[in-house]
A and B are shown apart, each in its own frame.
Chain A
Amino acid sequence: MTLKRISVIITICFFAIGLLVGQANALEGSYKVGAVFSVTGRASFLGDPEKKTVEMLAEKINATGGIKGKKLELVIYDDEGDATKCNLAVEKLITRDKVCAVIGPSLSGPSLAVISVAEKYETPLVSCAASYKIVYDEKTGKPYKWVFKTPQSDSMAVEAIYTHLKNRGINKIAIMSVTSGFGASGRSELIRLAPEFNMNIVADEKYGPKDTDMTAQLTKIKGVAPAAIVNWSIGPTQVTVTRNWRDLGMAGITLYQSHGFGSRKNIELASGAAEGVFCPLGACNIAELLPANHLQKSVTMDYMKNYMAKHNEPLSSFGGHSWDALMLVVDALKSVGCDKAAIRNYIENQKGFVGQHGLFSFSPDDHNGLTKDAFKMVIVKGDDWALVD
Chain B
Amino acid sequence: MEKITLASQLLQYFITGLTVGSVYAMVAVGFNIIYNVTEIINFAQGEFVMLGGLIMVFLHVAMGLSLILAFPATIVLVTLIGILIDRLAIRPIRCPSVLTLIIATIAVSIIIKGTASFIWGKNPFDLPAFSGRNPINILGAVIQPQYFWVIGFLVVTAVALSIFFDRTIMGKAMSACADNPNAASLVGINVKQMVLLSFALSAAIGAVAGITITPISLMEYDRGAMLAVKGFGAAILGGLGSFPGAILGGLIMGSIESFGAGLISSGYKDAFALIVLLVILFFKPSGLMGSVEISRIKRF
Binding site for B on A (CB under 8 A): 40-42, 44-45, 48, 179, 205-208, 210-213, 215-217, 219-220, 222-223, 225, 235-236, 239-240, 243, 247-250, 252-253, 265, 268-269, 271-272, 313
> When the two chains form their complex, are residues A216 and B1 in contact, meaning their CB atoms are under 8 A apart?
no
Tell me, rounded to whole Å, the shortest Cβ–Cβ distance linking B93 to chain A.
21
In the bound complex, do residue B135 and residue A239 qualify as a contact, i.e. CB atoms below 8 Å apart?
no
| 15 additional contacts (CB under 8 A) given A44-B122, A210-B226, A240-B217 | A48-B121, A208-B226, A215-B258, A216-B12, A219-B4, A236-B217, A239-B124, A239-B218, A240-B216, A247-B135, A248-B142, A249-B137, A269-B218, A271-B128, A272-B133
Smallest CB-CB separation from B260: which chain A residue?
A216
Instruction: Check A235–B124 contact: CB distance below 8 A.
Output: yes
Segment touching A, from B16-24, B30-38, B186-194, B234-242:
B16-24
> Quick check: A247 and B144 within 8 Å, CB to CB?
yes
Segment of B170-178, B261-269, B286-294 engaged in the interface with chain A: B261-269
Contacts of A250 in B (CB 8 A): 1
> Is A220 a contact of B216 with CB atoms below 8 Å?
no
Please give me the 8 A-B residue pairs with the lowest Cβ-Cβ distance, nearest first: A212-B217, A236-B124, A252-B1, A210-B226, A44-B122, A206-B267, A216-B261, A216-B262
What are 14 sample pairs from A and B whose C-beta atoms fall under 8 A apart?
A40-B122, A208-B226, A210-B222, A213-B16, A217-B262, A223-B3, A223-B6, A236-B124, A240-B216, A249-B137, A268-B126, A269-B124, A271-B128, A313-B123
CB distance from A232 to the nearest CB of B (A): 13
**Is B213 positioned at the interface, with any CB of A under 8 Å from its CB?**
yes
Of A44, A208, A252, the residue contacting B270 (CB under 8 A) is A208
B122, A249: Cβ atoms under 8 Å?
no
Chain A residue at smallest Cβ distance from B14: A216
Contact between chains at A219 and B270 (CB < 8 Å): no
Q: Of A44, A212, A225, which is within 8 A of B117 by CB?
A: A44
Q: How far is the CA of A121 from the CA of B269 in the complex (A)?
A: 43
Q: How far is the CB of A206 from chain B (nearest CB, A)?
A: 4
> Which chain B residues border A213 with CB–CB below 8 Å?
16, 19-20, 216-217
A207 cross-chain contacts in B, Cβ below 8 A: 261, 266
By the criterion CB–CB under 8 Å, are A236 and B117 in contact?
no
Residues of chain B lying within 8 A (CB to CB) of residue A179: 267
Contact A249 B135 (CB under 8 A): yes
Residues of B at the A interface (CB closer than 8 Å) are 1, 3-4, 6, 9, 12-13, 16-17, 19-20, 23, 117, 121-126, 128, 133, 135, 137, 141-142, 144, 213, 216-218, 220, 222-223, 226, 257-259, 261-263, 266-267, 269-270
Complex Cα distance A113/B178, Å?
49
* B123 near A265: Cβ-Cβ < 8 Å: yes
Contact of B122 among A45, A208, A225, A268 (CB under 8 A): A45
Contact B124 A225 (CB under 8 A): no
Q: Are A206 and B266 in contact (CB under 8 A)?
A: yes
Least Cβ–Cβ distance between A224 and chain B, in angstroms: 9
The distance from the CB of B92 to the nearest CB of chain A, in whole angstroms, is 23
Give the chain B neighbours of A48 by CB distance below 8 A.
121-122
* Bound form: Cα–Cα A243–B214 in Å: 13
In the complex the two chains form, what is the Cα distance from A252 to B1 in whole Å? 6
Given A239-B124, A249-B142, A220 contacting B117 (CB threshold 8 A): no
CA distance A48 to B117 in the complex (A): 11
| Smallest CB separation, A322 vs chain B (Å) | 16
Q: Which residues of A contact B220 (CB under 8 A)?
A: 235-236
Across the interface, do B1 and A223 meet the contact criterion of CB distance under 8 Å?
Answer: no
Task: Give the residues in chain A near B222, CB-CB below 8 Å.
Answer: 41-42, 210
In the assembled complex, the Cα of A54 lies from the Cα of B84 at a distance in Å of 39
A248 surroundings in chain B (CB, below 8 A): 12, 135, 142
Chain B residues near A211 (CB, 8 Å)? 217
B266 A205 Cβ-Cβ under 8 A: yes
A346 to chain B, nearest CB (A): 35
Chain A hits for B217, CB < 8 A: 211-213, 236, 240
Q: Are B266 and A217 in contact (CB under 8 A)?
A: yes
| CB-based contact B218/A216 at 8 Å | no
Say yes or no: B4 contacts A216, CB within 8 Å.
no
Residues of A within 8 A of B9 (CB): 219-220, 222-223
CB A178 to nearest CB in B, in angstroms, measures 11
Chain B neighbourhood of A243, CB < 8 A:
133
Most buried by A among B122, B125, B133: B122
